[in-house]
Chain A
Amino acid sequence: MKKFGAVFAVVAFFVGLALAQEYKVVPLGQGEWKDFTVGKYGGYLVVGSLDNPKTFNHHIAQETSSTDVTGMLHAGLTEVNPITDMVEPGLAKSWEISEDGLVITFHLRQGLQWSDGHPFTADDVVFTFNGVIFNEDVRTDYRDVLLVEDKLPICEKVDDYTVRFILAAPFRPFLREIGGAIYPAHKLQHLSRVYNPDADPEALNSVWGVDTPPEEIVGMGPFKLKQFIPDQLVVIERNPYYWKVDPQGNRLPYLDGVKYVIAFSLDTIMLKFRNGELDVYAPRPEDIATLKAEAAQKGIKILIDPTKPLFGTTWIAFNQDCPNEKLREYFRMVEFRRAMSHLVDRQTIINNVYLGLGVPQWSPVSMLSPFYYPDVPKYDYDPEAAAKLLDQIGLIDRNGDGWRDFPDGTTFEFELNTNAGNTIREQTCQIFVADCAKVGIKVNFNPINFNALVTKLLGGQYEACLLGLTGSSEPHGGANVERSCGGLHFWKYSDCEDPTPVAKRIDELFDLGVKTYDFNEAYEYYKEYQILAAENLFLIYTVNMLYRYAYYENLQNTAGFSPLAGALGFAEVLWKKNPNMVGNRIVG
């Protein structure tokens, strides 16, 4: 018996060793990770959040108050290196692409476990795509970015650790886009009508809502949900089964978890950071002087990168399906939108709102993207040109009260929303409103709560709004926004049923841009798209901010903070010199 036990132990050891080799090693201290060090365990990263999450269902979530949390709970077949922006193996350790570019075969890491200990296999991948993402019952925007010629890939299980995707055509960004969250079949499969015809069609939309017991939410990410106290706190804790290790074989993450402190104003979040209650903070330009003054005394590091404007866009959208028919008619006129762009004083916004820490933005493609085209048409600040255009389209002051009117004599006015508490957006709106007034356009500025604004936007109930979208190096990442039937095509949902010629061409360009694996060819398609977007101003881009970040020096492995990823993007490798500190305060 004793002998059997010894043999078993030896076998188990070698099996364990073999399985551990399936884990991904983050090469801290080498290559692009050279400025990173092997850390020590302990402590929570504490961050601020402007609102409650609306859901813990990652594939349904459409707001950062949710995805900042859910993004930490899951992993995908591939992942993007937060330093190099290159696609790397994730849950799939390798893949092959067929010669015709249509078949991509992924080989999964073996021996991995979900956060509840259940084994991870190809069944989970096939369920995620066939049962959730490709399932029309599920209201996920992720589906849009995987369309190729309006067709979704076929996802097939080859064996327990091999999955194959068959594409309708070559799909250049596939390896980047396929990295979406993999969901656990053992927890959710019964909710999918693809697997269970008796399931409620709404089940996968409503599952994992904010009142879900944390242990029910299972993922492959570095963390798992521990606690949600509405209006106060979200806590995620280390996933004991996470499949990444450091070069010494220590399982990541080093942190015990992440805490999201919910505070509904930027003022409160900033003060909490200054008081040492948060470890990190993304300072607005107007915050920098205050933080710089006390940086040394409090142990705050402030990172400003003048060479790196942020990914993402900030824009003014006019709802071309606005419930108000009179406004709708004008919002659909490109001359009106060009006039509005002429009223965005980008340089004043940069100087006064961004304190010099910004650049004008003209394109939907992020400036850091290799696909960015800088020479798009620009309708820069020019109130005279704006006034001429407004005259041309018949918006003139018919009664001498200083405001331009509809042809029926009523005042031409619209409501402009943005998210209350975001001082940069509020100030940008105020400058725009004042400039509109100078040419007789009446704008009723009404900042509202972020989640309420998102609801209004997605429900097509707004008139105009100033908001932002995240971005990435891959223009196709914006497909859910730019495509006529995209889930975030919020300036004109009716394009889906009745697309304009420009909308059709953009749809074509999005198809062409992904069909070629040739970068130069793809570049030309995205260049045309950017020109069309700039000419037609579906979204009027304003200013792109330079990257800034602030963190307390107790936090380690911060060398990679950039527009590609901040603290949350590096959370799996962050560690604390003193795990008992939050900010600069001893807490335990």
Chain B
Amino acid sequence: MKKTFVLVVLGLLAFPAISAWTVSDLERMAKTDVIPEIRLAAGYALANYYAATKSETDLLKLAESGATEAVRLAASLALSQKWVGAGKTRDELLSILTEGKTPEVRAAAIPAFTEAIVTDKADALLELAKTGETEELQYAAGKAYLQKIRAKLNKATLESICGDDTLPAGYRKAAAEVLAGYYLFPETTALSKAQLEEKALKDANPFVRYAAAYALVNFLAEESADALYKKVVSMFLAPGVSAEYRWAYARALGLKWAAGL
């Protein structure tokens, strides 16, 4: 097994990373690549193309029953673009967030729903973030709530939310994404790339690791597609590499591939 692993990794590393894949290449990778983070990167890269070329009905179908998580992710991101500003009512969006068939369908309603609720009172948003029946609804409400009270937020408050096991995952995920910003600003207290990598790899709390990874993407986006690809491949099956850290590299690689389309 180990020998096979080494051969597979060496083989993939030998394959030149191309920053400008075609849509067919990306769709193939999103469906069939052996490395999950490559599939994920391809999914991210396809989102805008899907938004431009597929209908709402087709995207909904793909988000429900696409062959892999990456394909469903691409459809979800594209669908969310279609639903923003499309005149869907709050109740319609809420229904999708709670009853959508897959996490990807539910996630597609998040941006439009946050817009529908952001003028609600902060207390009501917090309540929804804490008690929403799906992770996506918790996340959407959390995102709206945290934006609303952003003037009162700081790193410590957000790390506390991330570390609070009594709070639901969706809300903690929203908090992590805001915490990422406090790892980058103000400049006087910002973390370096190395510090973010350390945190994304090793922090005991998965939401803090996610926050660090989320911030890290901003550094990784400056690297070449080739370097990102090799890193993703080298991490395949490597022990001790957190899921959040891998995600950061996949996300950045997806950005590069999307730019090349």
Residues of A within 8 A of B (CB): 265, 267-268, 270-272, 274-277, 286-297, 353, 355-356, 423, 427, 580, 584-586
> Among the interface residues A268, A276, A586, which one has the most CB atoms of the partner chain B within 10 A?
A586
Nearest CB on B from A301, distance (A): 12
Q: Is the CB of A297 within 8 A of B181?
A: no
Q: What are 18 inter-chain pairs, A to B, with CB distance below 8 A? A: A267-B147, A268-B118, A274-B111, A275-B84, A275-B111, A277-B84, A277-B85, A286-B151, A290-B146, A290-B147, A293-B178, A294-B177, A294-B180, A295-B218, A296-B220, A355-B185, A355-B186, A586-B51
Q: Does B115 contact A (CB under 8 A)?
A: yes
Q: Is the CB of A289 within 8 A of B84?
A: no
A355 to B189, CA, bound (A): 12
A265 to B118, CA, bound (A): 9
Known: A275-B84, A275-B111, A427-B151. A289 touches B51 (CB 8 A): no
User: Closest residue to B221 on the A side, CB-wise?
Assistant: A296
Q: Is the CB of A585 within 8 A of B251?
A: no
Q: Is the CB of B181 within 8 A of A585?
A: no
Q: Is the CB of A586 within 8 A of B48?
A: yes
B163-193 vs A, Cβ < 8 Å mask (1 yes, 0 no): 0000000000000011111111110100000
Residue from A267, A427, A584 within 8 A of B119 (CB atoms): A267
Given contacts A265-B119, A272-B85, A290-B178, 19 further A-B contacts (CB under 8 A): A267-B119, A267-B147, A268-B118, A270-B147, A271-B144, A272-B115, A275-B114, A276-B84, A286-B151, A289-B153, A289-B184, A292-B181, A292-B184, A293-B178, A293-B184, A293-B215, A296-B221, A296-B252, A584-B48
Residues of B contacting A292 in the complex (Cβ-Cβ under 8 angstroms)? 181, 184-185, 218
Q: Is the CB of A267 within 8 A of B84?
A: no
Q: Is the CB of B150 within 8 A of A287?
A: yes
Residue from A286, A295, A296, A586 within 8 A of B150 (CB atoms): A286
A290 to B144, CA, bound (A): 12
A580 to B221, CA, bound (A): 24
Nearest CB on B from A441, distance (A): 24
Residues of A contacting B179 in the complex (Cβ-Cβ under 8 angstroms)? 293
Q: Is the CB of A275 within 8 A of B52?
A: no
User: Closest residue to A294 on the B side, CB-wise?
Assistant: B177
Q: Is the CB of B185 within 8 A of A288?
A: yes
Q: Does B148 contact A (CB under 8 A)?
A: yes
Nearest CB on B from A95, distance (A): 46
| Pairs A-B, 4 closest by C-beta atoms | A289-B181, A293-B181, A296-B221, A293-B180
A292 to B221, CA, bound (A): 13
Known: A293-B214, A295-B218. A288 touches B181 (CB 8 A): yes
A115 to B40, CA, bound (A): 51
Q: Is the CB of B51 within 8 A of A585?
A: yes
A233 to B99, CA, bound (A): 33
Nearest CB on A from B214, distance (A): 6
A287 to B144, CA, bound (A): 13
A584 to B217, CA, bound (A): 17
Residues of B contacting A274 in the complex (Cβ-Cβ under 8 angstroms)? 111, 147
Residues of A contacting B255 in the complex (Cβ-Cβ under 8 angstroms)? 296-297
Q: Does B81 contact A (CB under 8 A)?
A: yes
Residues of A contacting B177 in the complex (Cβ-Cβ under 8 angstroms)? 293-294
Q: Is the CB of B52 within 8 A of A586?
A: yes
Q: Is the CB of A296 within 8 A of B186?
A: no
A276 to B111, CA, bound (A): 10
Q: Is the CB of A353 within 8 A of B151?
A: yes
Residues of A contacting B181 in the complex (Cβ-Cβ under 8 angstroms)? 288-294
Residues of A contacting B81 in the complex (Cβ-Cβ under 8 angstroms)? 276, 585-586
Residues of A contacting B153 in the complex (Cβ-Cβ under 8 angstroms)? 286, 289
Residues of B contacting A267 in the complex (Cβ-Cβ under 8 angstroms)? 118-119, 147-148
Residues of B contacting A585 in the complex (Cβ-Cβ under 8 angstroms)? 51, 81, 84
B200-215 vs A, Cβ < 8 Å mask (1 yes, 0 no): 0000000000000011
User: Closest residue to A296 on the B side, CB-wise?
Assistant: B221
User: Closest residue to B222 on the A side, CB-wise?
Assistant: A296
Q: Is the CB of A297 within 8 A of B115?
A: no
Residues of B contacting A353 in the complex (Cβ-Cβ under 8 angstroms)? 151
A198 to B179, CA, bound (A): 66
Q: Is the CB of A297 within 8 A of B119?
A: no
Nearest CB on B from A451, distance (A): 18
